[in-house]
Structure 1
Amino acid sequence: MVHHTLSTELGVVVLLAVLAASLWIPYIIGVNMHPQAENDAFVRPPALSGFPAWVHRAHRAHLNLLEQLLPFAILVLVVDRLDGYSALTWWAAVIFLGLRVTHAAGMITGTARMPLRPLIFTAGWLCCLAMAAAVFMA
Structure 2
Amino acid sequence: MNLPADAVTALETFQKAAGWEQRARLLMQWGERLPALSDTQMCDANRVHGCESQVWLVGELRDGHWQFSANSDARLIRGLVALLLARVNGLSAAELQQVDLPDWFNQLGLGRQLSESRSNGLNAVLQRMRELAA
Tell me the TM-score normalised to structure 2 length. 0.27
Structure of greater Rg: 1
Tell me the TM-score normalised to structure 1 length. 0.26
